[in-house]
Structure 1
Amino acid sequence: MAVTKKAEAVEKKKKGSFRETILLLIVGVGIALLLQAFVVGSFYIPSESMENTLLINDRVFVNKLAGKPERGDIIVFKGWNGEDTIKRVIGVGGDKVACCDSKKRVTVNGTPLDETSYLYPGDFPSGDTFKYTVPQGKLWLMGDHRSASADSRSHVEEPGGGFIAEDQVIGKAVMRYWPLSRGSIFIRPDTFDKVK
């Protein structure tokens, strides 16, 4: 009789542990889904437009709570074709973005950008000349591999004039986590600190 009660107690404990494990698993998955939906997302790099900063097949973490984008940030946004897209913020609302000055540099509010730390080796800051004032609440975006990037410059003739609204921003790319050999945290280039 005592053996039967003991066996029943063990069986009951096993069932309780199994239920607890399933419950914890469901809660864990729920938390992970909430984090991905509202806090941190993962983004896959499909094109060469951000080389060499980001290569095809790289993967980045995106902070969806990073706040308002700043000049120099790498952001993921709903692109001109409605797909998730990744580019660098060159100008924010009120900025005057232009290319090129006498030394072939992009300027923001008259300040030339030193883009050597992120621009694709051997690429020019822009093959196109342009001069625009970024409307409030909008962004001027460019890829780091300028000759291979369909960015704001490519969409100036479309509705919206090539600008992307801040509310189309999904988040700020904060870290490349794949491949592991190229893992790194993204830091805003110092050249943007000089822009007034």
Structure 2
Amino acid sequence: MATSRQHRHKRSLPIWQESLLLVVVATVMAIIVKMFFLQAFYIPSESMEPTLLVDDKLLVQKVSLWTGEPHRGDIVVFDDPGGWLGPSEQKRATNVFSKTLESVGLLPTGGHLIKRVIGVGGDHVQCCDASGHILVNGEPIDEPYVLDQSVIRHREFDVEVKEGYLWVMGDNRDNSADSVAHLGDPGGGQVRLEEVVGIAWVRVWPLNRIGGLGDNDAFDDVPDDPQ
């Protein structure tokens, strides 16, 4: 009996090795979670007000992208398609420790864009009808989440969303470098599905505004085929 106890005691790791092993395992698990499941982001600008405010922290889920695509009304985080990010939106961690935590998903990430999906591949998106509503496949969209409903009237456009692309807009239509603002770019302001990092799931900070995100109800009556 004593021999067995001594044998088990000899095989136990020193406390510093156990601590190091726990750190390595935790880091690997954080990387896996960030790559395939969830990632933390912060809001760097006013472009999604009033839904998301500057410095809000949120979790973005990636699971629904395994076998599907974003839907109209989803709030998506995506890589810069090319020249969309302003100086204030390029804010990143400035020291090695923070950069390391950010890279493994233990700190919210910057350097991405976040907008609401208005049109998906095959959709016909227009601005606007006589009441100032965006039309998607001929159906006017009532958007209660938009900061100022009247702003969109001054941003006329008429686009066909290409397959494999998204048409995205900020909820703060007067202050959002979105698809409309980049309509004249080589890509026509459309975002490739491959550039989407994930779909905004829940706001986790500040505590008094914790809650789910996304509003797809406005698009319930949109037909799948353009009219």
| Cα distance between partner residues in 1 of 2:12 and 2:149 | 65
Which is further off, 75-84 or 14-23? 14-23
Report the structure number with the largest CA radius of gyration: 1
Q: Say if 2:90 is the partner of 1:62.
A: no
Q: State whether residues 76 and 87 of structure 1, in contact with CA within 8 Å, keep that contact through their aligned partners in structure 2.
A: yes
Identity of aligned residues (%): 43
Q: Which residue is 2:21 aligned to? A: 23
Q: State whether residues 142 and 152 of structure 1, in contact with CA within 8 Å, keep that contact through their aligned partners in structure 2.
A: yes
Q: CA deviation at 1:24?
A: 2.5
Is the alpha carbon distance of 1:122 and 1:163 closer, same or farther for their aligned partners in structure 2, counting shifts above 3 Å? Answer: closer
Q: State whether residues 126 and 147 of structure 1, in contact with CA within 8 Å, keep that contact through their aligned partners in structure 2.
A: no
Q: CA deviation at 1:125?
A: 3.5
Q: CA deviation at 1:144?
A: 0.1
> Where does 1:117-128 land on structure 2 (aligned, <5 Å)?
118-121=145-148, 123-128=150-155
- Give the alignment partner of residue 167 of structure 1, picking from 182, 194, 200: 194
CA deviation map 1:128-147 (0-9, x unaligned): 11111101111000000000
Q: Which residue is 1:109 aligned to? A: 137
Q: Which residue is 2:115 aligned to? A: 87
Report the 3-state secondary structure (helix = DSSP H, G, I; strand = E; otherwise coil) of the residue aligned with 1:177.
Answer: strand
Q: Which amino acid aligns with 1:78?
A: D
TM-score, normalising length: structure 2: 0.76
Q: Which residue is 2:165 aligned to? A: 138
Report the 3-state secondary structure (helix = DSSP H, G, I; strand = E; otherwise coil) of the residue aligned with 1:161.
Answer: coil
Which is further off, 23-32 or 119-128? 119-128
Report the 3-state secondary structure (helix = DSSP H, G, I; strand = E; otherwise coil) of the residue aligned with 1:125.
Answer: helix
- Give the alignment partner of residue 176 of structure 1, picking from 171, 181, 203: 203
Q: Which amino acid aligns with 1:99?
A: C
Report which of the two has the higher share of strand.
1
Report the 3-state secondary structure (helix = DSSP H, G, I; strand = E; otherwise coil) of the residue aligned with 2:154.
Answer: coil
Which is further off, 120-129 or 154-163? 120-129
5+ residue gaps, structure 1, are: 1-7
RMSD of aligned Cα (Å): 2.4
Is the alpha carbon distance of 1:173 and 1:161 closer, same or farther for their aligned partners in structure 2, counting shifts above 3 Å? Answer: same
* Displacement over 4 Å in runs of 4+: 11-18
Count how many residue pairs are aligned between Structure 1 and Structure 2. 190
| Cα distance between partner residues in 2 of 1:128 and 1:183 | 33
Report the 3-state secondary structure (helix = DSSP H, G, I; strand = E; otherwise coil) of the residue aligned with 1:194.
Answer: coil
Report the 3-state secondary structure (helix = DSSP H, G, I; strand = E; otherwise coil) of the residue aligned with 1:172.
Answer: strand
5+ residue gaps, structure 2, are: 1-5, 85-110
| Cα distance between partner residues in 2 of 1:13 and 1:21 | 16
| Cα distance between partner residues in 2 of 1:122 and 1:146 | 8
| Cα distance between partner residues in 2 of 1:97 and 1:57 | 31
Q: Which residue is 1:77 aligned to? A: 78
TM-score, normalising length: structure 1: 0.87
Q: CA deviation at 1:77?
A: 0.4
| Cα distance between partner residues in 1 of 2:142 and 2:44 | 27
Q: State whether residues 132 and 149 of structure 2, in contact with CA within 8 Å, keep that contact through their aligned partners in structure 1.
A: no
| Cα distance between partner residues in 2 of 1:72 and 1:113 | 10
| Cα distance between partner residues in 2 of 1:14 and 1:123 | 69
